[in-house]
Protein backbone atom coordinates (compact mmCIF):
# COMPACT_ATOMS: atom_id res chain seq x y z
CA UNK A 1 0.00 0.00 0.00
CA UNK A 2 1.50 3.32 -0.97
CA UNK A 3 0.12 6.25 0.88
CA UNK A 4 1.05 9.80 -0.13
CA UNK A 5 3.59 11.57 2.07
CA UNK A 6 2.10 14.48 3.97
CA UNK A 7 4.22 17.16 5.62
CA UNK A 8 2.34 19.59 7.86
CA UNK A 9 3.87 22.60 9.59
CA UNK A 10 2.53 23.53 13.00
CA UNK A 11 3.78 27.04 13.65
CA UNK A 12 2.36 26.97 17.20
CA UNK A 13 2.24 30.50 18.73
CA UNK A 14 4.89 32.09 16.52
CA UNK A 15 5.06 34.73 13.83
CA UNK A 16 3.66 38.04 12.68
CA UNK A 17 1.74 39.05 9.57
CA UNK A 18 4.98 39.88 7.78
CA UNK A 19 6.63 36.65 8.82
CA UNK A 20 3.56 34.62 7.82
CA UNK A 21 3.52 36.18 4.35
CA UNK A 22 7.26 35.85 3.78
CA UNK A 23 7.51 32.31 5.04
CA UNK A 24 4.47 31.23 3.02
CA UNK A 25 5.85 32.84 -0.14
CA UNK A 26 9.18 31.09 0.33
CA UNK A 27 7.53 27.74 0.98
CA UNK A 28 5.18 28.07 -2.01
CA UNK A 29 8.05 29.07 -4.30
CA UNK A 30 10.22 26.18 -3.18
CA UNK A 31 7.47 23.56 -3.15
CA UNK A 32 6.58 23.58 -6.83
CA UNK A 33 8.01 20.12 -7.48
CA UNK A 34 7.35 18.72 -4.03
CA UNK A 35 6.29 15.09 -3.95
CA UNK A 36 4.81 15.63 -0.50
CA UNK A 37 1.40 17.07 0.15
CA UNK A 38 2.07 20.20 2.21
CA UNK A 39 -0.11 21.76 4.90
CA UNK A 40 0.59 24.94 6.86
CA UNK A 41 -1.03 25.54 10.26
CA UNK A 42 -0.34 29.10 11.39
CA UNK A 43 -1.88 30.83 14.43
CA UNK A 44 -5.50 31.95 13.86
CA UNK A 45 -4.73 35.66 13.26
CA UNK A 46 -2.43 34.75 10.35
CA UNK A 47 -4.66 32.21 8.63
CA UNK A 48 -6.05 34.81 6.28
CA UNK A 49 -2.60 36.10 5.30
CA UNK A 50 -1.40 32.56 4.62
CA UNK A 51 -4.50 31.57 2.63
CA UNK A 52 -4.27 34.73 0.51
CA UNK A 53 -0.55 34.35 -0.05
CA UNK A 54 -1.02 30.76 -1.19
CA UNK A 55 -3.71 31.73 -3.70
CA UNK A 56 -4.36 28.70 -5.90
CA UNK A 57 -1.25 26.86 -4.72
CA UNK A 58 -1.69 23.18 -3.96
CA UNK A 59 -0.52 23.80 -0.41
CA UNK A 60 -3.41 23.72 2.03
CA UNK A 61 -3.99 25.45 5.34
CA UNK A 62 -5.16 24.18 8.71
CA UNK A 63 -6.10 25.52 12.12
CA UNK A 64 -4.15 24.42 15.19
CA UNK A 65 -7.31 23.93 17.22
CA UNK A 66 -11.05 24.52 17.02
CA UNK A 67 -13.90 25.18 19.41
CA UNK A 68 -15.76 22.35 21.13
CA UNK A 69 -19.05 23.91 20.06
CA UNK A 70 -20.83 23.36 16.76
CA UNK A 71 -22.74 26.59 16.45
CA UNK A 72 -21.96 30.29 16.62
CA UNK A 73 -22.74 31.89 19.94
CA UNK A 74 -21.50 33.16 23.26
CA UNK A 75 -18.12 31.38 23.42
CA UNK A 76 -15.66 34.21 23.98
CA UNK A 77 -12.25 33.53 22.54
CA UNK A 78 -13.24 30.46 20.57
CA UNK A 79 -13.02 29.75 16.83
CA UNK A 80 -15.37 27.20 15.29
CA UNK A 81 -14.69 24.65 12.59
CA UNK A 82 -17.16 26.48 10.34
CA UNK A 83 -15.10 29.67 10.74
CA UNK A 84 -11.91 27.83 9.85
CA UNK A 85 -13.56 26.37 6.77
CA UNK A 86 -14.99 29.78 5.89
CA UNK A 87 -11.55 31.39 5.91
CA UNK A 88 -10.10 28.75 3.61
CA UNK A 89 -8.84 25.99 5.90
CA UNK A 90 -9.15 22.36 4.92
CA UNK A 91 -7.57 20.87 8.05
CA UNK A 92 -7.60 21.23 11.83
CA UNK A 93 -5.15 19.81 14.34
CA UNK A 94 -6.97 18.25 17.29
CA UNK A 95 -5.54 16.89 20.52
CA UNK A 96 -2.03 18.26 20.21
CA UNK A 97 -0.17 17.31 23.40
CA UNK A 98 0.18 21.01 24.27
CA UNK A 99 -3.61 21.32 24.19
CA UNK A 100 -3.94 18.19 26.31
CA UNK A 101 -1.30 19.09 28.90
CA UNK A 102 -1.39 22.91 29.06
CA UNK A 103 -5.10 23.47 28.43
CA UNK A 104 -6.53 20.38 30.05
CA UNK A 105 -8.16 18.83 26.99
CA UNK A 106 -9.28 15.33 27.85
CA UNK A 107 -9.43 12.58 25.24
CA UNK A 108 -13.20 13.00 25.30
CA UNK A 109 -12.92 16.73 24.59
CA UNK A 110 -10.49 15.93 21.78
CA UNK A 111 -12.94 13.39 20.35
CA UNK A 112 -15.70 16.01 20.38
CA UNK A 113 -13.45 18.42 18.46
CA UNK A 114 -12.51 15.65 16.03
CA UNK A 115 -16.19 15.15 15.18
CA UNK A 116 -16.85 18.88 14.90
CA UNK A 117 -13.91 19.31 12.53
CA UNK A 118 -15.37 16.62 10.27
CA UNK A 119 -18.85 18.11 10.52
CA UNK A 120 -17.41 21.43 9.36
CA UNK A 121 -15.81 19.80 6.31
CA UNK A 122 -12.29 19.85 7.74
CA UNK A 123 -9.86 16.94 7.79
CA UNK A 124 -8.91 16.42 11.43
CA UNK A 125 -5.24 15.79 12.23
CA UNK A 126 -5.59 13.79 15.43
CA UNK A 127 -2.47 13.88 17.62
CA UNK A 128 -1.65 11.10 20.07
CA UNK A 129 1.49 10.45 22.05
CA UNK A 130 2.94 9.32 25.35
CA UNK A 131 5.09 11.19 27.86
CA UNK A 132 8.56 9.96 28.77
CA UNK A 133 7.27 8.73 32.12
CA UNK A 134 4.51 6.75 30.41
CA UNK A 135 6.99 5.25 27.94
CA UNK A 136 9.48 4.32 30.63
CA UNK A 137 6.82 2.69 32.76
CA UNK A 138 5.68 0.54 29.85
CA UNK A 139 2.40 2.36 29.25
CA UNK A 140 3.03 3.63 25.74
CA UNK A 141 0.63 1.27 24.00
CA UNK A 142 -2.10 1.73 26.59
CA UNK A 143 -1.87 5.52 26.29
CA UNK A 144 -1.94 5.50 22.49
CA UNK A 145 -4.81 3.04 22.48
CA UNK A 146 -6.85 5.11 24.95
CA UNK A 147 -6.32 8.34 23.00
CA UNK A 148 -7.27 6.70 19.72
CA UNK A 149 -10.15 4.68 21.13
CA UNK A 150 -11.78 7.79 22.58
CA UNK A 151 -12.35 8.99 19.02
CA UNK A 152 -13.40 5.59 17.63
CA UNK A 153 -15.81 5.01 20.53
CA UNK A 154 -17.49 8.36 19.99
CA UNK A 155 -17.65 8.44 16.20
CA UNK A 156 -17.02 4.90 14.95
CA UNK A 157 -14.00 3.70 13.00
CA UNK A 158 -15.48 5.07 9.77
CA UNK A 159 -14.76 8.57 11.07
CA UNK A 160 -11.06 7.84 10.49
CA UNK A 161 -11.71 7.81 6.79
CA UNK A 162 -10.49 11.14 5.46
CA UNK A 163 -8.68 11.85 8.69
CA UNK A 164 -4.99 12.03 9.55
CA UNK A 165 -3.35 10.57 12.62
CA UNK A 166 -0.15 12.02 14.07
CA UNK A 167 2.07 10.17 16.52
CA UNK A 168 3.84 12.80 18.58
CA UNK A 169 5.76 11.38 21.53
CA UNK A 170 5.66 14.20 24.09
CA UNK A 171 9.29 13.61 25.04
CA UNK A 172 10.40 14.34 21.47
CA UNK A 173 8.48 17.59 20.98
CA UNK A 174 10.75 20.64 20.92
CA UNK A 175 13.41 18.74 22.82
CA UNK A 176 15.76 17.90 19.98
CA UNK A 177 15.24 14.22 20.93
CA UNK A 178 13.71 12.37 18.02
CA UNK A 179 12.17 8.96 18.23
CA UNK A 180 14.47 6.59 16.37
CA UNK A 181 13.04 5.36 13.07
CA UNK A 182 12.46 2.00 14.78
CA UNK A 183 10.62 3.58 17.73
CA UNK A 184 8.46 5.60 15.35
CA UNK A 185 7.72 2.57 13.18
CA UNK A 186 6.79 0.49 16.22
CA UNK A 187 4.31 3.08 17.50
CA UNK A 188 2.85 3.73 14.03
CA UNK A 189 2.42 0.02 13.35
CA UNK A 190 0.69 -0.35 16.72
CA UNK A 191 -1.71 2.49 15.90
CA UNK A 192 -2.45 1.07 12.46
CA UNK A 193 -3.12 -2.37 13.98
CA UNK A 194 -5.65 -0.84 16.36
CA UNK A 195 -7.55 0.63 13.43
CA UNK A 196 -7.12 -2.52 11.31
CA UNK A 197 -8.70 -4.61 14.04
CA UNK A 198 -11.92 -2.74 13.25
CA UNK A 199 -11.51 -1.90 9.58
CA UNK A 200 -8.49 -3.03 7.57
CA UNK A 201 -9.36 -0.89 4.55
CA UNK A 202 -9.45 2.32 6.54
CA UNK A 203 -6.25 1.34 8.38
CA UNK A 204 -4.50 0.80 5.05
CA UNK A 205 -5.20 4.26 3.71
CA UNK A 206 -4.95 6.20 6.99
CA UNK A 207 -1.97 8.55 6.88
CA UNK A 208 0.01 8.42 10.14
CA UNK A 209 2.45 11.31 10.52
CA UNK A 210 5.35 11.42 12.95
CA UNK A 211 5.98 14.59 14.96
CA UNK A 212 8.78 15.42 17.37
CA UNK A 213 12.02 17.18 16.42
CA UNK A 214 11.81 16.26 12.74
CA UNK A 215 14.63 17.97 10.81
CA UNK A 216 15.88 17.74 7.22
CA UNK A 217 18.62 15.44 8.50
CA UNK A 218 16.41 12.83 10.16
CA UNK A 219 13.32 13.05 7.91
CA UNK A 220 14.52 10.63 5.18
CA UNK A 221 15.06 7.75 7.61
CA UNK A 222 11.81 8.42 9.47
CA UNK A 223 9.73 8.74 6.30
CA UNK A 224 11.30 5.55 4.92
CA UNK A 225 9.54 3.50 7.62
CA UNK A 226 6.63 1.43 6.34
CA UNK A 227 4.01 3.03 8.55
CA UNK A 228 5.39 6.59 8.70
CA UNK A 229 3.53 8.63 6.10
CA UNK A 230 5.13 12.02 6.67
CA UNK A 231 5.57 14.48 9.49
CA UNK A 232 3.94 17.08 11.67
CA UNK A 233 6.67 19.66 12.05
CA UNK A 234 7.01 22.26 14.81
CA UNK A 235 10.24 24.25 15.09
CA UNK A 236 11.59 23.34 11.68
CA UNK A 237 8.39 24.53 9.97
CA UNK A 238 9.32 28.12 10.85
CA UNK A 239 12.21 28.13 8.36
CA UNK A 240 11.34 27.62 4.69
CA UNK A 241 14.64 25.92 3.99
CA UNK A 242 14.14 23.37 6.76
CA UNK A 243 10.46 22.76 6.01
CA UNK A 244 11.22 22.26 2.31
CA UNK A 245 14.20 20.11 3.18
CA UNK A 246 11.91 17.86 5.22
CA UNK A 247 9.33 17.82 2.40
CA UNK A 248 12.01 16.73 -0.05
CA UNK A 249 12.44 13.54 1.99
CA UNK A 250 9.12 12.38 0.48
CA UNK A 251 9.60 9.64 -2.04
P1 LIG B 1 8.92 20.06 17.10
O2 LIG B 1 9.10 19.70 15.64
O3 LIG B 1 9.34 21.47 17.39
O4 LIG B 1 9.53 19.05 18.01
O5 LIG B 1 7.34 20.03 17.37
C6 LIG B 1 6.60 18.94 16.99
C7 LIG B 1 5.17 19.28 17.15
O8 LIG B 1 4.67 19.44 18.25
C9 LIG B 1 4.37 19.45 15.92
O10 LIG B 1 3.02 19.51 16.21
* Domain chopping of the chain, boundaries: 5-250
pLDDT range class, residue 1, cuts 50, 70, 90 = low
Q: Which helix (H) or strand (E) holds 101?
A: helix 97-102
Contact predicate 228/199, CB 8 Å: no
> Which of 77, 74, 117, 72 has its CA nearest to residue 96?
117
* Structure confidence by residue, pLDDT tens digits, 131-184: 999 999 999 999 999 999 999 999 999 999 999 999 999 999 999 889 999 999
* Structure confidence by residue, pLDDT tens digits, 172-231: 999 988 999 999 999 999 999 999 999 999 999 999 999 999 999 999 999 999 999 999
Pocket of ligand 1 (CB under 6 A): 10, 96, 168, 173-174, 211-214, 232-236
Its CATH class, for the domain covering 5-250, is alpha beta
Pocket test for ligand 1, best of 63, 100, 210, 214 (most atoms within 8 A of CB): 214
Measured CA to CA in angstroms, residue 78 lies from 58, 82, 89, 106, 198 at distances of 28, 12, 16, 17, 34
168 is catalytic: yes
Query: Left if phi > 0, otherwise alpha if psi is -120 to 50, otherwise beta: which for 111?
Result: alpha
Q: What is the pTM of this model?
A: 0.98
CA of 14 to the centre of ligand 1 (A): 13
Atom 1 of ligand 1: nearest residue by CA position: 234
Give mean pLDDT, residues 59-77.
98
| pLDDT number for residue 251 | 75
Question: Rounded to an integer, what distance in angstroms lies between the CA atom of residue 42 and that of residue 14?
Answer: 8
| pLDDT number for residue 33 | 85
Atom of ligand 1 nearest to the CA of 232: 9
Instruction: Indicate which residue of 60, 105, 168, 188 is catalytic.
Output: 168
> Which of 189, 241, 127, 151 has its CA nearest to residue 1?
189
Atom 9 of ligand 1: nearest residue by CA position: 234
Measured CA to CA in angstroms, residue 10 lies from 161, 214, 235 at distances of 22, 12, 8
CA of 124 to the centre of ligand 1 (A): 17
Neighbours of 152 (CB within 10 A): 19
Contact predicate 142/117, CB 8 Å: no
Atom 2 of ligand 1: nearest residue by CA position: 234
188 is catalytic: no
Instruction: Indicate which residue of 60, 96, 98, 188 is catalytic.
Output: 96
Atom 7 of ligand 1: nearest residue by CA position: 234
Contact predicate 93/12, CB 8 Å: no
Question: Rounded to an integer, what distance in angstroms lies between the CA atom of residue 162 and that of residue 124?
Answer: 8
Amino acid sequence: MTRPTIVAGNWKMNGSVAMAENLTEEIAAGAKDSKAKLIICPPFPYLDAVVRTLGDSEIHVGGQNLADQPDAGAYTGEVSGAMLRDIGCWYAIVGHSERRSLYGESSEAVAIKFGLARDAGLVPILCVGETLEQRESGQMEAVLKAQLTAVIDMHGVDALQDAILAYEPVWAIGTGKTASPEQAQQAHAFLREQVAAQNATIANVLPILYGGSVKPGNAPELFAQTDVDGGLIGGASLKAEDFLGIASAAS
